[in-house]
Amino acid sequence: MVDDLENKQESVGTQTLAIRPLAVDELDYDSRILKTDILTNRSLAVNNLTWELFFSIGFSHHYEILLKTNSLEERIFYIKKAAENHWSKDRLIEELKADVYHHNALIPNNFIQTISNKVSALKAIEMFKDNYLLDFVNMEELDARSKEDVDERVLEQKIVQNVKDFIMTFGRDFTFVGNQYHLEKFGVEQFPDLLFYNRELAALVCVELKFGDFKPAYLGQLSAYLRILDSEVKKPFENPSIGIVLCKTASKPFVEFLIQGYENPMGVATYKTKDEIRSLLPSEEQLQKLLTQDD
């Protein structure tokens, strides 16, 4: 039987790890050296992870993934993402910090209903997260403005100034087209906040920034932008434009309910900024107290 199994093995680099029946529960390192018996004695029948993808990222990548994840599925997710998107170690660390695994493909959307090509619809669902970490934005440092003055335009300018970081946070294959992009239909002018193009989706992606909580009116506004984009800007070979509302907070069930009533592909995501993340951490005094407490 062993000989039969060995005869069925395909060359490394094209086969999936699922081809080999193996028996270890977790990817692991021993003295920071990859155990080769893990690769030859376990089955990883998850999302067609290949040997080529596994070995295409470095040891330091694997070490960070093992250090900061808890499940096999999560580890395979990051291995695939790092390999397919050619993430550097620093980029991987940022993705792990943003907890991409638990936010991937969870954005409230209507893509399945509104994108006729189901493969494209599934790609769109996978492309966008339900929450984005904008750690290059610190509202506390924006010109000491009052809270009332910190509006969508201020956030927009901060993103434009850090558009490379935003694109890295947003996802792969995005190209920045412009902000306050001028649209006109029947003499009526409109100015969407941010406009991108995604090569993999072959579609324009319109992002509306909202400083506060989600409001139903945002979907109507975004739908109007998408309709004009498809009429006046989209190329014949491109797919329908996709819209994303990016706001501070949103009720997912409420958004899911409302968004099904629109014919344009849209989703609603939330974001966190650096100052918000800092507010969730213990203060220096609290840390000192914890460190000095007796057992």
The predicted-structure confidence for 149-181, as pLDDT tens digits, reads as follows 456 777 888 888 888 888 878 878 899 999 999
For the chain, the domains span 2-97, 111-280
Q: Which residue has the higher pLDDT, 247 or 50?
A: 247
With beta carbons less than 8 A apart as the criterion, state whether 269 and 132 touch: yes
Q: Which residue has the higher pLDDT, 26 or 126?
A: 126
With beta carbons less than 8 A apart as the criterion, state whether 123 and 201 touch: yes
Lowest mean pLDDT among 12-16, 116-120, 270-274: 12-16
pLDDT mean over 223-241: 97
Lowest mean pLDDT among 44-48, 65-69, 127-131: 44-48
With beta carbons less than 8 A apart as the criterion, state whether 264 and 125 touch: no
At 104, the pLDDT band (50, 70, 90 cuts) reads low
DSSP 98: T
Q: Which residue has the higher pLDDT, 226 or 47?
A: 226
Tell me which of 3.40.1360.10, 1.25.10.10, 3.40.50.1820, 3.40.1350.10 is the CATH number of domain 111-280. 3.40.1350.10
pLDDT mean over 114-130: 89
At 35, the pLDDT band (50, 70, 90 cuts) reads very low
Lowest mean pLDDT among 52-56, 197-201, 217-221, 268-272: 52-56
DSSP 130: S
- Mean pLDDT (the chain) is 76
Q: Which residue has the higher pLDDT, 80 or 197?
A: 197
pLDDT mean over 197-225: 95
In this prediction, residue 282 carries a pLDDT of 47
H-helix segments, 128-273: 152-161, 163-170, 217-232, 252-259
Is 22 a residue whose pLDDT tops 70? Answer: no
* Amino acid at residue number 133: L
**CA–CA distance, 239 with 242 (Å, rounded to integer):** 9
In this prediction, residue 291 carries a pLDDT of 55
pLDDT mean over 270-293: 59
In this prediction, residue 276 carries a pLDDT of 59
Is 212 a residue whose pLDDT tops 60? Answer: yes
Q: Which residue has the higher pLDDT, 41 or 130?
A: 130
In this prediction, residue 84 carries a pLDDT of 79
At 250, the pLDDT band (50, 70, 90 cuts) reads very high
Is 272 a residue whose pLDDT tops 80? Answer: yes
Pairing verdict, β 194-198 and 242-247: unpaired
